[in-house]
Amino acid sequence: MISKMKKSPLFFEMSESDIENCLTCSRSEIVRYEKDEMIFRQHDVPRKLLVLLEGAVVVGNDSSSGKRSIVATLEQPGELFGEVFLFLNKREYDHYAQAVAPAQILQIPRDFLYNTCGENCGYHTKLISNMLSILAQKAYYLNRKLQIVSCATLRQKIAKVLLQNASPDGRVTLSMNREELADFMNTARPSLSRELMKMQEEGIIQIEKRKIQIVDFDALQNN
């Protein structure tokens, strides 16, 4: 399991012995959940940081009418979930988390992430530093997404995404496929595809699968 933990940004640049010491010192545990078993429910009190080691988990919420919606699906070992609620002043989760396949979850007590012990352990300090970095990156990601979804038109949203991810020579390689990109922009995939093709026909961009070349920076910036 240590090798899987090393894939998590929480344990970035930490040795196996550092990770083992953290788990021992914090009295963390690995808990197994069967398929469809709830890991936490809405309104449960957040007490532990959760790291997926094996399996798959969905995070979602229930509306007042009882309708369920999926917020995220976690399948990669090392992914964290529920961490934002752990550090908010709120005393309960807004979401639920459920295993959609047999899963093993590392659970680290919340208090271990708030204070270093009296021994001034380097691995403890590094873990807290990594946690702060994760939260900062999440805030940065959400800020960039807010800039995109607040655009008035779909073309403006596309332009913002391309400019945010472009290299100095105008090359853009997106980690998302077309459907994921449409979801990210809160639009339909056919609408996104049509607008991209229009922009290519107008000579603003050149598309090759997931790679996009910005041909006319000025036109893109003035959308």
Structure confidence by residue, pLDDT tens digits, 108-149: 999 898 877 666 678 898 999 999 999 999 888 888 888 888
Sign of the alpha-carbon torsion through 88, 93, 94, 100: positive
Give the number of other CB atoms < 10 A from CB of residue 198.
12
48-62 and 68-74 as β-strands: parallel, antiparallel, unpaired?
antiparallel
Structure confidence by residue, pLDDT tens digits, 13-70: 999 999 999 999 899 999 999 999 999 999 999 999 999 999 999 998 877 676 777 8
Q: Rounded distance, CA 89 to CA 91, Å?
A: 6
For residue 93, which of 43, 40, 127, 50 has the smallest C-alpha distance?
43
Give the per-residue pLDDT at 161.
92
CATH code for residues 151-221: 1.10.10.10
Residue ranges per structural domain of the chain: 2-143, 151-221
Give the per-residue pLDDT at 70.
80
Q: Do domains 2-143 and 151-221 have the same CATH topology?
A: no
Give the per-residue pLDDT at 69.
77
Contact 119, 37 (CB under 8 A): no
Sign of the alpha-carbon torsion through 189, 82, 102, 67: negative
CATH code for residues 2-143: 2.60.120.10
SS3 call for 41: coil
Query: Which residues does 23 contact at the CB level (< 8 Å), separation at least 6?
Result: 106, 108
